[in-house]
Chain A
Amino acid sequence: QSALTQPPSASGSPGQSVTISCTGTSSDVGGYNYVSWYQQHPGKAPKLMIYEVSKRPSGVPDRFSGSKSDNTASLTVSGLQPEDEADYYCSSYAGSNNGVFGGGTKLTVL
């Protein structure tokens, strides 16, 4: 199972919006609505930000949103804030009790 493809980096100024993509195949992202997104600050554990493509856990700001089109999922962060600077990882179920993570995207708030 190959890792999902994410851009290594993304950036935006405070207040702007940024979208991070996560590209897989019809066997993972395109085949199931089990795409999640995780935020990880340096030295910290990942935190669930989006699950089942577009659902937000309680406590996650509505500035974070998720979507999917065909084999590509996307995480959009609107109204960027300095604390949004972190690494972001996507994941997807891939069938047969298995799944895969993306390689991660480093988001920089300029």
Chain B
Amino acid sequence: QVQLQESGPGLVKPSGTLSLTCAVSGGSINDRGWWSWVRQPPGKGLEWLGEISPSGTANYKPSLTSRVTISIDKSKNHLFLNLRSVTAADTAVYYCVRGGWSKFDTWGQGTLVAVSS
């Protein structure tokens, strides 16, 4: 079965860029229609950041469109997240997720990213 593993720096400075990688194993990015990033601030609820299709079409949460970019590398079976101009409000556990709004059916274990100087 497919597994997702997020990786990246656990600490990012304010105004910097948060960059995460999601490695997909046990399946291919081409197998599904959408792949998403979802985050969860400590003690709070889930927030969808955006999604990307195997063809590279991306959709983003409207309030984050100016700061977020999601991309894929099908040759490596990897998914990427870039979030620019971060503040403390971007501190969260970031999840790589297989699926879109019809269903988010497989989640990575998540990675905690703190924004602090």
Partner-B contacts on A (CB < 8 A): 1, 3, 34, 36, 38, 45-48, 51-52, 57, 89, 91-93, 97-104
For residue B7, give the distance in angstroms from its CB to the closest CB of chain A: 15
For residue A40, give the distance in angstroms from its CB to the closest CB of chain B: 8
Tell whether A38 pairs with B95 under 8 Å between CB atoms, given A98-B61, A98-B62. Answer: no
For residue A65, give the distance in angstroms from its CB to the closest CB of chain B: 16
Partner-A contacts on B (CB < 8 A): 45-48, 51, 59, 61-62, 95, 101-110
Give the top 9 A-B pairs by smallest Cβ distance, nearest first.
A51-B103, A97-B59, A93-B101, A45-B107, A99-B101, A101-B46, A104-B45, A48-B105, A103-B45
Residues of A within 8 A of B47 (CB): 101
Main secondary structure, interface of A, reads strand
- State the CA gap A107–B47 with chains docked (Å): 20
For residue B56, give the distance in angstroms from its CB to the closest CB of chain A: 14
Residues of A within 8 A of B61 (CB): 98
Are the CB atoms of B45 and A89 closer together than 8 Å? yes
Residues of B within 8 A of A97 (CB): 51, 59
Residues of A within 8 A of B45 (CB): 3, 89, 101-104
Residues of A within 8 A of B105 (CB): 48, 51, 57
Residues of A within 8 A of B102 (CB): 34, 36, 51-52, 93
List 11 other contacts, CB 8 Å, given A91-B48, A101-B45.
A36-B101, A45-B95, A48-B104, A51-B102, A89-B45, A89-B46, A91-B104, A99-B48, A101-B46, A101-B48, A104-B46
